[in-house]
């Protein structure tokens, strides 16, 4: 850790056109707080740039003084990469410009925008970009890592809608990368995370989405219902995407008290198309068992994000994996483990992939797991540091029992070590990313991420 008193922040401040927050400021604690609980890091300064020049100056200052750099878009990194202890945070929250070309079906979006903000603005024109499942996520992190959400089978990953990106590199250059300009960098940015610089703007291909049918469908969880849910999700047309959360029912106000703690499938289902056809598809899930709650209806795509508590700071451990399938035996394994745990919240989350994701060649972007059928996550909340090892062991054991296939998804990785980062970028993909890293960040200035060291 660097001694924050050793950094001449006044020198940095004098070179910038923007606000610089330090420990003496009244909102310092609010500004350094990230989404995940249990992360308590104290940067020497938080820079909120207004221009690419502000970013370039900050990078140069950090390099000159040996200060660690963190880059924050929305602050949702589960590993806490959005904040540094003693170093400098480049916090992009002031970069909120959105330039929509309705006729051309494209938009330039600055990296301080959230998925919810972009989605709401585009909905006015009947247009969309597929992001994730949470509106407060910054578009920077989710886009650079891949982007798996409620439109994934219809329109692919977020990176599959990316046409160009503006990036400030470690040497202060401002580059616009696309398929013809810096194509190697553009390939790496689509899935390679924040390893290559500070991305300030994204150009997206917009998709027409005039109608949408979705919401929450809660079913009682038995092995047959869970396996049936996954089979229906795999068989559904590509307009349909879903997230199945297999878990004990939390004390949600719309569920009767006697159901709290009972095993449920909390399905978040989305049909990106005609409402009548969407209802036909969702009716197959309703037929699996008598729904405990059914909030699926015609709505906007942005309505899937739902309200969020800005003070929500979960402390959780998780493991992300891919699965070839999820039948009754795996469902029974999951339900037994969930029932045996006494964690305050625990879940097996399942997402069927395929569709538009699988039609992109695995070597076309840095996200290579195109042919995987199911993305799964096992997660457990913990209470205090003494409780954490027990929950980590439970997550590890259940993950292994579900029979994962090799691979990982970088956006859902925690602080899990190089082996897990390599699992996200196997074989030749890792080697190619390391070469791009060596070209654009040879000194590994941008290392507070799921790091890919430069090739030597």
**DSSP SS3 for 422:** helix
pLDDT, tens digit, for every residue of 242-266? 999 999 999 999 999 999 999 999 9
* pLDDT value for 251: 94
pLDDT single digits (tens) 55-83? 999 999 999 999 999 999 999 999 999 99
State both tokens at 344.
């305050």
pLDDT band at 3 (very low <50, low <70, confident <90, very high): very low
Predicted pLDDT of residue 396: 97
- ∠ Cα 203 205 210 (to 5°): 135
Helical spans, DSSP H, in 272-417: 275-286, 328-340, 388-401
Instruction: For residues 143 and 241, state if they share a domain.
Output: no
Average predicted confidence (pLDDT) for the chain: 97
Domain with 45, as residue range(s), is 4-91
* 306 vs 141, higher pLDDT: 141
The residue-averaged pLDDT of 445-456 equals 97
Q: DSSP state, 384? A: S
pLDDT band at 157 (very low <50, low <70, confident <90, very high): very high
d(CA 362, CA 304): 29
Does residue 421 fall inside a structural domain?
no
- Same domain, yes or no, for 150 and 257? no
With 50 as the cut, is the pLDDT of residue 136 above it?
A: yes
What pLDDT shows up at residue 2? 43
Q: What is the reported pLDDT for 312? A: 87
Strand 297-298 versus strand 98-101 pairing type: unpaired
Residue 451 falls within a domain, yes or no?
no
**194 and 80 within one domain:** no
- Count of structural domains within the chain: 3
Q: For residue 377, what is the domain's CATH number?
A: 3.40.462.20
In terms of domains, do 266 and 378 share one? yes
Q: Which residues contact 341 (CB under 8 A, 6 or more apart)?
A: 380, 394
Query: For residue 30, is it within any domain?
Result: yes
pLDDT band at 311 (very low <50, low <70, confident <90, very high): confident
Clarify whether residues 331 and 394 are in a common domain: yes
d(CA 231, CA 325): 9
CA 349 to centroid of chain Cα atoms: 14
Q: Are strands 88-91 and 45-48 parallel, antiparallel or unpaired?
A: parallel
Is pLDDT of 1 > 50? no
Kindly state whether residues 337 and 252 are assigned to the same domain. Answer: yes
d(CA 307, CA 216): 13
What is the CB neighbour count within 10 angstroms for residue 222? 17
Gap between the Cα atoms of 246 and 265, Å rounded = 5
What percent of the chain is predicted at pLDDT more than 70?
A: 99
pLDDT tier, 393 (very low <50, low <70, confident <90, very high otherwise): very high
Tell me how far apart the alpha carbons of residues 293 and 252 are, in angstroms, rounded to a whole number.
11
Q: Coil, helix or strand for 71?
A: strand
Q: What is d(CA 448, CA 431) in angstroms, rounded to the nearest whole number? A: 20
Residues 204 and 218 in one domain: no
One domain, residues 30 and 106 = no
Is residue 436's pLDDT more than 90? yes
Q: What is the pLDDT of residue 6?
A: 84
Examine residue 447 and state whether it is found in any structural domain, yes or no: no
Looking at the fold, whether 168 and 268 belong to one and the same domain comes out as no
Domain with residue 143: its CATH number is 3.30.465.10
Which residues have CB under 8 Å from 151's CB, separation 6+?
128, 130, 207, 209, 241, 270, 272, 301
pLDDT, tens digit (0-9, with 9 covering 90-100), for 102-132: 999 999 999 999 999 999 999 999 999 999 9
């Amino acid at each position: 850790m660097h001694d924050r008193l050793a950094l001449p922040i006044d020198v940095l401040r004098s070179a910038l056109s923007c606000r610089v927050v330090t420990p003496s400021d009244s909102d310092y604690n609010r500004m350094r707080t990230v989404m995940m609980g249990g992360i308590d890091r104290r940067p020497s300064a938080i820079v909120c740039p207004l221009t690419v020049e502000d970013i370039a100056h900050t990078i140069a200052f950090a390099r000159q003084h040996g200060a660690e750099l963190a880059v924050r878009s929305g602050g949702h990194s589960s590993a806490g990469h959005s904040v540094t202890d003693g170093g400098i945070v480049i916090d992009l929250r002031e970069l909120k410009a959105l330039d929509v070309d309705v006729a051309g079906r494209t938009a330039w979006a600055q990296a301080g925008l959230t998925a919810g903000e972009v989605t709401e603005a585009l909905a006015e024109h009947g247009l969309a970009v597929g992001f994730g499942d949470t509106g407060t996520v910054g578009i920077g992190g989710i886009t650079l890592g891949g982007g798996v959400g409620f439109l994934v089978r219809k329109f692919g990953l977020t990176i599959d809608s990316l046409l160009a990106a503006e990036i400030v590199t470690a040497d202060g250059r401002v580059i616009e990368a696309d398929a013809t300009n810096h194509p190697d960098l553009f390939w790496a940015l689509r899935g390679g995370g924040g390893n290559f610089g500070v991305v300030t703007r994204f150009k997206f291909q917009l998709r027409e989405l005039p109608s949408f049918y979705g919401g929450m469908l809660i079913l009682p969880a038995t092995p047959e219902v869970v396996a049936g849910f996954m089979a229906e999700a795999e068989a559904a047309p590509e307009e349909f995407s879903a997230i199945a959360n297999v878990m004990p029912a939390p004390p949600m106000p719309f569920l009767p008290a006697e159901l709290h703690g009972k095993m449920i499938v909390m399905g978040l289902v989305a049909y990106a198309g005609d409402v009548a056809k969407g209802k036909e598809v969702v009716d197959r899930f309703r037929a699996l068992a008598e729904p405990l709650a059914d909030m699926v209806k015609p709505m906007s795509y942005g309505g899937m994000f739902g309200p969020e508590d800005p003070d929500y700071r979960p402390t959780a451990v998780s493991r992300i994996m891919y699965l070839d399938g999820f039948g009754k035996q795996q469902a029974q394994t999951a339900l037994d483990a969930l029932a045996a745990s006494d964690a305050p919240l625990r879940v097996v989350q399942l997402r069927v992939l395929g569709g538009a994701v699988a039609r992109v060649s695995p070597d076309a972007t840095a996200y290579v797991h195109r042919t995987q059928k199911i993305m799964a996550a096992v997660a457990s909340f913990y209470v205090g540091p003494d409780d954490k090892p027990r929950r980590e062991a439970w997550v590890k054991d259940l993950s292994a029992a579900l029979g994962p296939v090799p691979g990982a998804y970088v956006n859902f990785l925690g602080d899990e070590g190089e082996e897990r980062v390599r699992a996200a970028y196997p074989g030749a993909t890792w080697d190619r990313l390391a070469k791009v890293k060596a070209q654009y960040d040879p000194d590994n200035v941008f290392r507070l991420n799921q790091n890919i060291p430069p090739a030597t």
